[in-house]
Amino acid sequence: MARGTTIRMWRRSLFILMALMFLGFGVSIARLVQLQIFQGENLQQMAIDQQLKDTKISAQRGTIYDCNMKPLAQSATVWTVVLESAYLPDNKTKELVATGLSEILELDKNEVLEKAKKKSYYTVIKRKIESDVKDKIIQFQKTNKIKSGIRLVEDYKRYYPYGDFASAVIGFTGTDSQGLSGVENYYNDYLTGESGKLVTARNAVGTDMPFDYEKMIPAKNGNSLVLSIDEVIQHFLEKNLEEGIANFNVVNKAVAIMMDVNTGDVLGMAVRGGYDLNHPFDIVDDNMKKEIESFPEDGKAKAKAEALEKQWRNKAVSDTYMPGSVFKMVTASMGLEENLVTENTGFNCSGSLVPFKGARPIRCHKHGGHGAQTFLKAFCNSCNPAFISLGQMVGAQKFYQYYDGFGFTEKTGIDLPGEANGIFFSKDGSMGPMDLAVASFGQNFSITPIQMAVAAAAVANGGYLVKPHIVKQIIDPNGNIIRTSEREVRRQVISEDTSRKLCEFLQLNAKEGGAKKGYVPGYRIGGKTGTTQKIGQSGPDGLDYIASFCGIAPADKPQVVLLVYYDTPKGGSYYGGVVAGPTFQQVMQDVLPYLGIERKYTDEELVILDIPTPFLVGSSVSEAKNKLERLGMKPVVYGSGDMVVSQIPEAGVKIPKGGTVVLHTAQDTENKTVKVPKLIGLTPSNANKTAVASGVNIVIKGAISNGAGAVSVRQSIAEGTAVKQGTAVTVEFSVQNQPTED
């Protein structure tokens, strides 16, 4: 023991030494073990989280094309302005940044300043700015030498080049590019893709670290959709619906669905009025806008939300309606399929029918009654009593069986969000006698328009209930097809025979029955009208109706089904034939040539298919002859010259096919005169035949849209007058026995 110490001092020194060793260094090392070994990973993760700055690389959302690869929805590059306020060194810079950004981005300065003062590494200031605004920000950064703190993150913005076109089908995306409605929503997972990441190491002031650390996970762009929708057809649907809405003052939107009856491809689905997909949150309807304004301040947001919901709603799949007489094609299918009736089965209509003892009588739309009629006639007359009787013959059980079979009790499975369920009388399918009576002509149960279109397709295509679809193909960013929608038959509901017969029924109905307003000559249109009273809903000016028209073309080999449906027309008529018929006709007239469907005219139709006489003066005789023959006209040449010097009738006069055109090769050639025959009291085709036989042409005037039931009543040149051969005589026709609307 050293002499300078005592034992106590020695001991106490040792104690201090031990205390320093164990309490001091021992605990220190224990803490390091705890922090570095046990909590190391956690702490390291937290450190990495702050050191590595992820930059999200947005995936480009897939394009939505129509069936001809015309883009309907596209994504373009935009930028999101992000503030990394933690990297802004001082309050002066923060002030400067807030002022600059608020000016460029047109934001409230104080709000931006507040965000700048909060210490954060990621605060979104504004989303989706265009490249010109981005350039301004970059310029601002350069001029003020701001190296970090403002970040521009690449993003994509959805553009809809056609605005409100096919809005219900395409849908739109929200701020995070997520699909909110339509196929944008339904196929969101396919369209979205996977965003990538760019990871870089940053120091605490946000500039890059001197050592290299960069890792990139590239974004996987979304898949594109090819719709079965044809932009041209969709355009026709929308254009004609708009016209119908304007003409008949339709207040509650209108729907038109065109579908390939065999494949279930939806070629067009229009819901009007639409909304601009580029600005889906703007209320389009002026009445709705006023209504929202009338709400108290705290209720406005809710009212607006409801209005928007209504605006975005795809009425074709999300709303139900009572199909009315259109449904008679289904009831008729039941009768024929079950061999309960044939087209010749007799029915008697006295204007009303008591469906069973003690019930209130149900009136036919023709109050005087249709009298004795065949089943086919009853179909064309859309006679309610006849169909009540047929319904009773089918019976409630069978009726529901078919109802179920035609797919009215289930969703069609169309690839659109928000498909609604229909409402039947009861959940188990049982129905009372009155239910059965009204159901047989399509009343008191609700279905969706798409269900009706699919059922009509089944009626027309041989009885096959197909699954409708909007998307034909999904293609990946490299253009490879990753999914194709195949024809999907859910079941066969009726036989092909029955289907064929129904097509004939529908065609006859369109040609000369209640659906005449939808007829297009040459295209063998079949159709059925429907006018439904909206039960429990009546506006201030009387009852509300739904006017619909559902038909097929061509009836001999159905290709497309078209359902047109106007909810609550307020402009005079509300009948399906009057309101929806012309739209149907116009659409078919536009679409069928586009689809390349061959025209086949009946004699009657050929006549009214007048063609303007071509201008032939000055052309050679052979040339003129060729031209006329191509047009189906009969050339008669006088004179021996090589060139045509005059023609009868003159260029531009519309004459029926097969008409005579007289060509003179010299001015002074002898003119053969003919006598005008009697052309009154004839059908158009007979009048034409008579005229052609006499060497004159007729020019048809009057309402004979489909040539059925028209009789000539007047002729412009009296019978017996001598005229030059080929002269055009205007004959006026008038349609008699106007068939009644249902």
Partner 1 sequence: MNKNYRQRAINRSFQSEVLESGAERRQDGRTFRRGSSINRKKNAVKKKFKTFSVRSGLDLPLFFITIVLLVIGLVMLFSASYPNAYYYKNGDSYFFIRSQLIWAVLGVIAMIALSYFDYHHLHKMAVPILILSFMLLVLVLFMPVKNEVHRWIQLGPIGFQPSEITKFAIVLSFAHFISINFKRMGSFKYGVLPYAFILGLTAFLLYLEPHISCLIIVVLLSGGMLYIGGIKLRWFGMVLAVALAAVAYLVLFTDKLTYANGRVQGWLDPFSSNPNVDTWQTKQGLYAIGSGGLLGLGLGKSRQKYLYIPEPQNDFIFSVVCEELGFIRAAIILILFAMLVWRGIVISMRAKDRFGSLLGIGLIAQVGLQVILNIFVVTNTIPNTGISLPFFSYGGTSLVMLLAQIGIVLSISRTSKLEKT
Binding site for partner 1 (CB under 8 A): 2-6, 8-10, 12-17, 20-21, 23-25, 27-29, 31-33, 35-37, 39-44, 46-48, 50-51, 201, 203-205, 209-211
What is the spatial distance between Cα 470 and Cα 314, in angstroms, rounded to a whole number? Answer: 13
Question: In the numeric block, which tokens belong to residue 526?
Answer: 């079949």
Residue 86 CB, nearest approach to partner 1 (Å): 11
Measured from the CB atom, is 213 or 295 closer to partner 1?
213
Measured from the CB atom, is 31 or 714 closer to partner 1?
31
The helix (run of H) or strand (run of E) holding residue 701 is strand 697-701
Residue 532, helix vs strand vs coil: strand
Residue 202 CB, nearest approach to partner 1 (Å): 8
Residue 147 CB, nearest approach to partner 1 (Å): 12
What is the spatial distance between Cα 555 and Cα 396, in angstroms, rounded to a whole number? Answer: 30
Residue 1 CB, nearest approach to partner 1 (Å): 9
SS (H, E, C) 238-307: HHHHHHHHHHHCECCCEEEEEEECCCCEEEEEEEECCCCCCCCCCCCCHHHHHHHHHCCHHHHHHHHHHH
Residue 149 CB, nearest approach to partner 1 (Å): 14
Q: Minimal CA–CA distance to 529: which of 594, 573, 571, 466?
A: 573
What is the spatial distance between Cα 522 and Cα 507, in angstroms, rounded to a whole number? Answer: 12
Residue 343, Ramachandran bin (φ over 0: left; ψ between -120 and 50: alpha; else beta): alpha
Half-sphere exposure of 196 (CA within 13 A, CB side): 14
Measured from the CB atom, is 47 or 354 closer to partner 1?
47
DSSP for 87-141, written as a single string: G--SHHHHHHHHHHHHHHHT--HHHHHHHHHS--S-EEEEEEE-HHHHHHHHHHH
Measured from the CB atom, is 51 or 716 closer to partner 1?
51
What is the spatial distance between Cα 186 and Cα 669, in angstroms, rounded to a whole number? Answer: 74
Alpha helices in 491-551 (DSSP H): 496-512
Measured from the CB atom, is 22 or 295 closer to partner 1?
22
- φ, ψ at 4 (rounded to 5°): -75, 0
Question: In the numeric block, which tokens belong to residue 106?
Answer: 């047109």
Measured from the CB atom, is 40 or 361 closer to partner 1?
40
Residue 38 CB, nearest approach to partner 1 (Å): 9
Measured from the CB atom, is 22 or 594 closer to partner 1?
22
Residue 42 CB, nearest approach to partner 1 (Å): 7
Measured from the CB atom, is 23 or 482 closer to partner 1?
23
Measured from the CB atom, is 31 or 487 closer to partner 1?
31
Contacts of 199 (CB under 8 A, 6+ apart): 52, 53, 54, 55, 213, 214, 215, 216, 217
Residue 15 CB, nearest approach to partner 1 (Å): 8
Question: In the numeric block, which tokens belong to residue 381?
Answer: 């007359």
Residue 114, Ramachandran bin (φ over 0: left; ψ between -120 and 50: alpha; else beta): alpha
Measured from the CB atom, is 46 or 535 closer to partner 1?
46
Residue 89 CB, nearest approach to partner 1 (Å): 11
Residue 118 CB, nearest approach to partner 1 (Å): 9
